[in-house]
Amino acid sequence: MVDAAKARVVPLVGIARRLAAHVAKLELSTPSHVYNPLQYAWSGQRIYLERYGRKRARVLLVGMNPGPWGMAQTGVPFGSVAAVRDWFGFEPRLSRRLPAQHPRYPILGMRCHRDEGSGRRLWGWAAQRFGTPDRFFERFLVWNYCPLLFLARNRNLTPTGLSAGEARALAPLCDRALLDVIDALQPIAVVGIGRFAEQRVRNLVGERVPVGYLPHPSPASPAANREWPALAERALAPWLPAEPDAY
């Protein structure tokens, strides 16, 4: 007999698998290198979804795309190596088949010693606020709108850095996957992490689901550097327990 909890996670695992395959077929020339961690770092994504992707009727947090030292290494959204190893408590493995790598952004998996600032900030706040991953994921799930990392001219590009034609080809694939996730999870709200994600969410869901905005935890943001935990508390206040020790 199939365990009911495992059966409920199948939709998200399937959505991620399909998205990985669909975006892998894109022909992109603006970036010099494209990493698809849903393929080569699938181990981390699968474990993440199987552990935390089952529950419905919570808040869906939507990020933009992987960072070079986070999800690109671990397969987990915002997944800095330290957070995945020390807080999530698992060490995913990379596939033996890696994409062509940019010399400044090697794919090292759990051997990566570079820090993903956004992931450290997001999961650090979650750890302080909730204590354990299980408590955080009772209320929230994080999904990245676009699963690809784009690299060009010794820097990583956001999806807005693609050409107009490339963006038009990418958007329907990511839109479809996000709508599938929303249909599967029936969230009580969807919150965009950063303005790009917020706008994509608003364009997709309209009035179907309440939509919120959470400032991006990127170290490139002066506001985030000053007080991101306070920004997160304000943005997510309707769905947070009254006190960190409410459990």
pLDDT in tens, 54-93: 999 999 999 999 999 999 999 999 999 999 999 999 999 9
Domains and CATH numbers, the chain: 4-239 (3.40.470.10)
Which residue's structure tokens are 């998200």? Answer: 12
Mean pLDDT by 10 residues, the chain (247 residues): 46 97 97 98 97 96 97 97 97 96 96 95 97 98 98 92 97 98 97 97 94 95 90 97 66
pLDDT in tens, 30-39: 999 999 999 9
Question: 3-state secondary structure string, 151-195?
Answer: EECCEEECHHHCCHHHHHHHHHHHHHHHHHHHHHHCCCEEEEECH
Instruction: Report the predicted TM-score, pTM, of the whole model to 2 decimal places.
Output: 0.94
Distance between CA atoms of residues 131 and 166, nearest Å: 41
C-alpha distance from residue 116 to each of 18, 32, 56, 121, 150 (Å) = 26, 21, 29, 9, 16
Give the per-residue pLDDT at 9: 41
- H or E segment to which residue 56 belongs: none
Average model confidence (pLDDT) across the chain = 93
CB count within 10 Å of CB 13 equals 16
List the structure tokens of 222.
């002066």
